[in-house]
Amino acid sequence: MRHRSGSCSIGRGGRQERGDHGSDGPRATGASSLLNLTCLLRPLLTACALSLAACQAFAADVELPAQAPIPQAREEALRRSPRPPGKPAAKQLLPAAEQTCRAALRDLQASFAEAAPVEKKGGCALQHPVELSFASRHIRIEPPAVLDCQTALVVARFFGTDRIAPKHFRAAIKTVHNASGYVCRPIGGGRNLSEHAFGRALDISGFTLSDGRQIAVQQHGRGQGPEAKFLRDIREAACGPFSTVLGPGTDAAHADHFHFDTKKRRAPYCR
């Protein structure tokens, strides 16, 4: 595009640039005095007069709109509208089942926060997730797990009443180590989406007990010591409350963690 130079006669161009794009026809070569008068009178040029720098910029280069600050600011504002990405849905917009689920979590004294809804992306979707930080008053999920509420409820019910650790130790579960909650990915090596892609799965890498004992699934998942027996009991007890229970021995992908999910099945799948 040819650059225009000179006085505020660009005021004409400011209104007609779109229609006359690239034209240097007769109107563009009209009497400069008339154009200068137009410059002085036009409202656009009144604004121009308030900002000499902007006026000069317009006069110097008609391609400036791409660099001008106002359009950028408006574009930024539009990106934020109607509400910032990641802002959880308002509580009153939650469906009844979601509200009931949250009430049940509160009854169990679980701690959770509303998490950002997941837009469909490659098929992944999680409309009303929660970020579960405590399965009960005393059992922490670390880091907090993003799950759909029904799965969070199963986790809270399962770990909230810890009867397994006291069978093996003079201690209780203090922390469940979360290796993965929601993540948009297929099942390892395949094309079908994992239950993680819908917030219905929790991977657990290990536990910390109230006496400070650390029990890693990778280290004790297949042993014979008390830690291994504890993990075996956890795994067996999880089969039922969770519809899928996988871990060391299932396959190489689960050698270092338990995978518990709530996929709808006719019968639990525990391997």
Q: Which positions touch Zn ion (CB under 5 A)?
A: 201, 203, 259
Q: Whose CB is nearest to Zn ion?
A: 259
**Closest to Zn ion by CB, 8 or 155:** 155
Smallest gap, in angstroms, from Cβ of residue 260 to Zn ion? 8
CB of 157 to Zn ion, least distance (A): 19
Q: Which lies closer to Zn ion via its Cβ, residue 102 or residue 259? A: 259
**Cα-based torsion angle of the residue sequence 198, 199, 204, 207 in order, rounded to the nearest 10 degrees:** -170
Q: Are 129 and 146 in contact (CB under 8 A)?
A: yes
* Identity of the residue, 100 or 218, whose beta carbon is nearer to Zn ion in the bound complex: 218
Kindly state the smallest distance separating residue 213's Cβ from Zn ion, in Å: 24
Q: Residue 45 or 201: which CB sits closer to Zn ion?
A: 201
Nearest CA among 217, 229, 227 for reference residue 253: 217
- The nearest distance, CB 111 to Zn ion, in angstroms, is 23
DSSP string over 55-95: HHHHHH-TTGGGT-HHHHHHHHHHHH-SS-TTPPPPGGGS-
Smallest distance from Zn ion to CB 196, Å: 6
Residue with Cβ nearer Zn ion (128 or 259)? 259
What contacts 189, CB < 8 A, 6 or more positions away? none
Token code pair at residue 169 = 């130790």
DSSP 196: G
Enclosing H/E stretch for 187: none
- Integer Rg of the chain from CA: 31
Task: HSE, CB side, 13 Å, CA atoms: give it for residue 53.
Answer: 2
58/258 with CB nearer Zn ion:
258
Q: CB of 263: closest distance to Zn ion in angstroms?
A: 11
